[in-house]
Amino acid sequence: MEEGNHESPSRDAPAKERLSTGIEGLDDVLYGGFVPNRTYMVRGEPGAGKSILGMHFLRAGLEAGEDVLYINLEESTKNVTENAASLGLDLDGVDFLDLSPDSEYFARNLSYDIFSPDEVEGGSVTEEITNRVEELNPDRLFIDPLTQLRYLAPDDYQFRKQILSLMQFFNVQGSTVLFTAQATETRPDDDLQFICDGTLNLKRGDEKRTLAVTKFRGSDFRSGPHTLTINHGGIDIYLNKLPQTFDHEFESETISSGVPELDQMLNGGIERGTVTIITGATGVGKTTTGIQFMKEAAGRGERSVVYLFEENQRTLMERSDAVNIPVEQMLNRDALSINETRSLELSVDEFNERVRREVEEKGAEIVMIDGIIGYKFALLGENDKLTRNLHTLCKYLKKKGISVILINEVQDITGDFQVTDEGGLSYLADNILFLQHLEVNGEMRKVVGVLKKRTSDFERQLREFRITEYGVKIGEPLTGLRGILSGRPRQPDEELEP
């Protein structure tokens, strides 16, 4: 079994028999890591992260108390260790076999051919490799890049024969081998894919890097491409799918907003494991209303997380403090987490992983995305894919019993009321709460109403909505006005001017 749409580990090679790759996300892709005593290839263009992946592989071996060997055929040991240190990766304890060409060699030969024909006949390089492996008997072996050994052989046939012999030797020694390959138009690496037990493909695009596994003998794996990032600390891998989850056992209860009149409109509040869309024009109070639910959750000892796509944390804190919502205290008590996302900073995979960790590892019970339009502009990806991902993310959170709040902004500040259905999200919403600006006798006012509540009945009357220094205030039902949703309310007996 080599590939498929994979949601559970293979029984052929249980996770307890795996070798960690040193990258948590890659271990997830491979359902635990590499199968021991096999050979794996990492392909990719220059700068894709191949060598760094190998460094993680060797470091994981050191942490497990294993002997590890790095055979560097292109860069000197000094350059390798300096590059690793710049990323915060310590290679202290790694044994090196440095077969890289030095500057004097190129000065003498003025050639890009690393090994000359007379060296091939003597077999000095392959002998040096086998001697060092026999001496050290490493548990893990990383060759970077193996394709440099093509220069040892007079033709491709001899090269393949030589590599097969080396791999069989490594197998007898009990080593798990990882090697890098860099194909060119004149020298492809297709032949190496038949030799190895697994192939990892790294790509570096204009906007993001990816990893995809295309071959993995003896085990299942998660189909790619998955997002790959390189930061201080090395490589992170983010799966392109949220983990499969079944309906989570959670107590079905109503969550109060802490504002009695708003709860009354919602027949008690919103339920756990539901999606609520709060929609309205700019400046009408959507975010404040969402944070109000989180304030009440903090009072119950629950944790919430908000993802800001359209403003920064400082602005949110200042606005909240001015209306009696103690966001700073909530942050200090770890009852709230605020995450800002800058434009085109994250991929969808990375964002999903952040949300998943907040829920599964940190226990967040309310997740708010502020807002839907900003989400689509801020994350890397095509608009329709981002919409599908938001659907998938909300369904995942609902199954986990998480209350989701989505902030949606409509374009018109006043006038006929509208609910912009961004990407068909209204069908996903269990609750839709709308806020609207309106003008009454030359005065700007706001109104709140409930359009949908899937799990129960709700109040169908509109109420005045205000944000004061004491918090959110909701007035009595506006039963004495007509045409509120037009933005120009009037008395029942008042005719609308043409």
The DSSP-derived string for 96-120 is EEE-PPPHHHHHHH--S-SS-HHHH
Question: Where is pLDDT greater, at 452 or 116?
Answer: 452
pLDDT in tens, 277-326: 999 988 899 999 999 999 999 999 999 999 999 889 999 999 999 999 99
pTM score, whole prediction? 0.77
Model confidence at 443, pLDDT cuts 50, 70, 90, reads: confident
Q: Residue 280 corresponds to which amino acid?
A: G
pLDDT in tens, 213-254: 999 998 889 998 999 999 999 999 999 888 776 556 677 789
Question: Count of CB atoms within 10 A of residue 299's CB?
Answer: 12
Which single residue is written with the structure tokens 């995809």? 212
Question: Count of CB atoms within 10 A of residue 341's CB?
Answer: 20
d(CA 31, CA 358): 22
DSSP 16: G
Q: Residue 232: its pLDDT value, please?
A: 93
Q: Residue 483: its pLDDT value, please?
A: 59
pLDDT in tens, 165-174: 888 899 899 9
Q: Residue 112: its pLDDT value, please?
A: 36
Taking residues 72-96, report their average pLDDT: 94
CATH number of the domain located at residue range(s) 15-238 in this protein: 3.40.50.300
pLDDT in tens, 414-424: 555 555 555 56
Q: Residue 289: its pLDDT value, please?
A: 96
d(CA 111, CA 104): 11
CA 448 to chain CA centroid, Å, is 35
d(CA 87, CA 68): 20
pLDDT in tens, 179-210: 998 876 667 777 788 889 999 999 988 778 99
Cβ contacts of 16 within 8 Å, gap of 6 or more: 32
Q: Residue 286: its pLDDT value, please?
A: 95
Q: Residue 115: its pLDDT value, please?
A: 42
Least confident of 37-46, 95-104, 370-379, 389-398: 95-104
d(CA 391, CA 348): 12
Q: Are 263 and 269 in contact (CB under 8 A)?
A: yes
Question: Count of CB atoms within 10 A of residue 468's CB?
Answer: 10
Among the listed residues 84, 54, 47, the one whose alpha carbon sits nearest the alpha carbon of residue 68: 54
Q: Residue 191: its pLDDT value, please?
A: 77
Q: Are 432 and 396 in contact (CB under 8 A)?
A: no
The ranges assigned to domains in the chain are: 15-238, 254-486
One fold for 15-238 and 254-486:
yes
pLDDT in tens, 106-133: 344 433 343 444 444 435 778 888 899 9
Report the phi/psi class of residue 351: left, alpha or beta, with left for phi > 0 and alpha for psi in -120 to 50: alpha
d(CA 344, CA 208): 10
d(CA 459, CA 263): 10
Q: Residue 354: its pLDDT value, please?
A: 92
CATH number of the domain located at residue range(s) 254-486 in this protein: 3.40.50.300
